A and B are shown apart, each in its own frame.
Chain A
Amino acid sequence: MKKEFYNIANLVTKNAKILDVGCGNGELMKYITENISKDIRGIELSKSNVQKCVEKGLTVIEGDAEKDLRQFPDSSFDFVILSQTLQAFLDPENVLNELLRIGKKAIVSIPNFGHWKVRLHLLLKGTMPVTENLPNEWYNTPNLHMCTIKDFENYCKQRNIKINLKNLKFQNLVSELGIFILEK
């Protein structure tokens, strides 16, 4: 399992009620189910990934986070997880609002466009950065709204979204990923 998932799993509390938005093949959900909380479910857009979650015995709903978070009542989860997909939504602002509405806390990770490798790539090569976390070319990237850790912090500050920094260390220049716990 990738390191990011261990980091995220360490942030959720024992037996918490959790929703994993864009849960992929269910790797993180499976780990959390087996180790931290059985009360977890996922939403996933890709049909083949939904099948993989069912194979793992996980509760998964095929759906689109941009439309389908609406059906969940306010504060119905202790944690809502969104791993590296915020930048791919048409309307990330709306998705963030929904995460904070249905979850008491939201755990959000973003690929950091401010990482030094990204900066250096653009500076020296003059082409759009392609890195391990950002493997696509400009013409086929699903990422519509790239931001840096600093951008994201500013965004939260402007909207009075609390960033809980406990247990988290990240820096705009040296972190490839930013992981945040958000609260309204």
Chain B
Amino acid sequence: MSEKDKIKTLLVKKPLKLDCGQTISDFPLAYETYGKLNDKKDNAILVFHALTGDQFASGTNPITKKDGWWNYALGPGKAIDTDKYFVIAANVIGGCMGSFGPSDINPKTKKPYGTNFPVITINDMVNAQYNLLEYFKIEKLFSVIGGSMGGMQVLQFVSNFPNKAHTAVPIACTASHSAQNIALNELGRQSIMADNNWQDGFYEEQNKQPDKGLAVARMAAHITYLSKAGLQEKFGRKLQERDDLKFSFDADFQIESYLRYQGSVFVDRFDANSYLYITRAMDYFDLTKKFGGNLSKAFEKSDTRFFIISFTSDWLYPTSENREIVIALNAIGKDVGFVEITSDKGHDSFLLDVPDFLNTVRNFLNKSYEKI
């Protein structure tokens, strides 16, 4: 079985008009499923991944051979229990795990799209994934769940399809990317573009890879996923396999070595152009824009039961930004719960073994499922 055969793909024939004005059709949408859809088709959950995630949320990712990105939360007997629920996870368009993305071959030029790939948005990603409901003939999802960029997709999904999910769990996210978020993403993009191998985005046809730029982008981003206290506790000023400072620019400190490692393993699994396109989609995300700055209006027609979760040490998508979503929903009398989980693991908390978080998700889902 070749690598590609391990990826399930839905060929979306229906034309999709993108926010940038272009229309795409006959494009691949890669997905994975966990658990079984029941006869009533009322146990389906659509899980949205974050910036560097993919459709392999649970078990072992057959391409990277690493654990699925949400292995702590999702699987048999876990918080999102696949013995009970049918979970669908798709790779976003613009991504690099089988969905339509910048490394696909442009039929007109017979070369990879590179930066000729259209700029996509969170709205486009969600609209593309909506096709999975039709494919699986699911009238209404039990839940839509995701953290970080996945949470943004949750919000966009409910806004676009107000009667298509009984519950929604946006985690550690925002309704509108802040200046700080945009700045950090721009840092990553500039790092990729500053790599000579990037070649204006047409590196693949020249058999080059902007690995150094992509690794630095990942290193910088990785810092934003952790908290100061978490970093200090894990690394402090500990030295890397040496007794004293070497008076050089080697990785003297463990934190340096750790970040270099994170950068180097990332380039093996992720495409630099996808990184540009997906961070751009996040930066363009502002759910209030279409509604004259009024976030409540984005949810006016929804009958979804919301549960919003943030983390104390997350400074990338802080509690205050998550609370704005709660406030917008309360302002129009929607059913919304909210909890801030105590964790020193920063933004990454939603991906890690944080028992309070996992229990909250489990309890919310299981109790809500009893009510539908």
A73 contacts B331, C-beta separation under 8 Å: yes
Please give me the residue from chain B that is nearest to A53 by CB atom: B337
A55 contacts B340, C-beta separation under 8 Å: no
Cα A54 to Cα B169 in complex, Å, equals 13
A57 contacts B371, C-beta separation under 8 Å: yes
A65 to chain B, nearest CB (A): 13
- Which chain B residues lie closer than 8 Å to A54 at the CB level? 307, 337, 339, 360, 363-364, 367
Number of chain A residues whose Cβ lies closer than 8 Å to a Cβ of chain B = 17
Q: A57-B367, A57-B371, A72-B330 are in contact. Are A50 and B336 (CB under 8 A)?
A: no
Q: A54-B337, A57-B370, A59-B335 are in contact. Are A47 and B342 (CB under 8 A)?
A: yes
Please give me the residue from chain A that is nearest to B312 by CB atom: A47
B368 interface hit (Cβ, 8 Å): yes
B327 interface hit (Cβ, 8 Å): yes
- Which chain B residues lie closer than 8 Å to A41 at the CB level? 335, 337
A7 interface hit (Cβ, 8 Å): no
Cα A60 to Cα B356 in complex, Å, equals 16
A76 interface hit (Cβ, 8 Å): yes
- Which chain B residues lie closer than 8 Å to A76 at the CB level? 333
Q: Using an 8 Å CB-CB cutoff, how does the interface string of B328-372 with A read, 1 for contact, 0 for none?
A: 001101011111111000000000000010011001100110110
- Which chain A residues lie closer than 8 Å to B363 at the CB level? 51, 54-55, 57
B356 touches which of A51, A71, A72 (Cβ 8 Å)? A51
A73 contacts B333, C-beta separation under 8 Å: yes
B79 to chain A, nearest CB (A): 12
B326 interface hit (Cβ, 8 Å): yes
B340 contacts A61, C-beta separation under 8 Å: no
A63 interface hit (Cβ, 8 Å): yes
- Which chain B residues lie closer than 8 Å to A60 at the CB level? 337-339
A14 interface hit (Cβ, 8 Å): no
A56 interface hit (Cβ, 8 Å): yes
- Which chain A residues lie closer than 8 Å to B305 at the CB level? 59
Chain B, interface residues (CB within 8 Å), range: 20 to 34
- Which chain A residues lie closer than 8 Å to B364 at the CB level? 54
B338 contacts A62, C-beta separation under 8 Å: yes
B340 touches which of A47, A59, A71 (Cβ 8 Å)? A47
Please give me the residue from chain A that is nearest to B368 by CB atom: A57
- Which chain B residues lie closer than 8 Å to A57 at the CB level? 363, 367-368, 370-371
B340 contacts A62, C-beta separation under 8 Å: yes
A71 touches which of B307, B330, B339, B341 (Cβ 8 Å)? B330
B371 contacts A51, C-beta separation under 8 Å: no
- Which chain B residues lie closer than 8 Å to A61 at the CB level? 326, 330, 336-338
- Which chain B residues lie closer than 8 Å to A47 at the CB level? 339-342, 356
- Which chain A residues lie closer than 8 Å to B326 at the CB level? 61, 71
- Which chain B residues lie closer than 8 Å to A51 at the CB level? 339, 356, 359-360, 363
A62 contacts B339, C-beta separation under 8 Å: yes
A78 to chain B, nearest CB (A): 12
A79 to chain B, nearest CB (A): 15
- Which chain B residues lie closer than 8 Å to A72 at the CB level? 330-331
B337 contacts A59, C-beta separation under 8 Å: yes
Cα A51 to Cα B364 in complex, Å, equals 10
B327 contacts A71, C-beta separation under 8 Å: yes
Cα A130 to Cα B259 in complex, Å, equals 57
A24 to chain B, nearest CB (A): 15
- Which chain B residues lie closer than 8 Å to A62 at the CB level? 338-340
Cα A51 to Cα B363 in complex, Å, equals 9
Please give me the residue from chain A that is nearest to B342 by CB atom: A47
Please give me the residue from chain B that is nearest to A19 by CB atom: B330
B335 to chain A, nearest CB (A): 6
B119 to chain A, nearest CB (A): 35
Please give me the residue from chain B that is nearest to A72 by CB atom: B330
A59 contacts B330, C-beta separation under 8 Å: no
- Which chain B residues lie closer than 8 Å to A50 at the CB level? 339
Please give me the residue from chain B that is nearest to A44 by CB atom: B339
Cα A41 to Cα B307 in complex, Å, equals 13
Please give me the residue from chain A that is nearest to B371 by CB atom: A57
Cα A71 to Cα B333 in complex, Å, equals 10
- Which chain A residues lie closer than 8 Å to B371 at the CB level? 57
Q: A51-B356, A61-B330, A72-B330 are in contact. Are A56 and B338 (CB under 8 A)?
A: no
A30 to chain B, nearest CB (A): 11
- Which chain A residues lie closer than 8 Å to B333 at the CB level? 73, 76
Cα A47 to Cα B357 in complex, Å, equals 11
Cα A41 to Cα B338 in complex, Å, equals 11
Cα A90 to Cα B211 in complex, Å, equals 56
Cα A54 to Cα B368 in complex, Å, equals 10
9 A-B pairs whose Cβ atoms sit less than 8 Å apart in the complex: A47-B356, A51-B359, A51-B363, A57-B367, A60-B339, A71-B327, A72-B330, A72-B331, A73-B331
Q: A51-B360, A54-B360, A62-B338 are in contact. List 13 more A-B contacts (CB 8 A).
A: A41-B335, A47-B341, A47-B342, A47-B356, A50-B339, A54-B364, A54-B367, A55-B367, A57-B371, A60-B339, A61-B337, A71-B326, A72-B331
The 9 closest A-B pairs by CB, nearest first: A57-B367, A71-B327, A61-B338, A71-B330, A54-B363, A55-B363, A62-B339, A59-B337, A50-B339
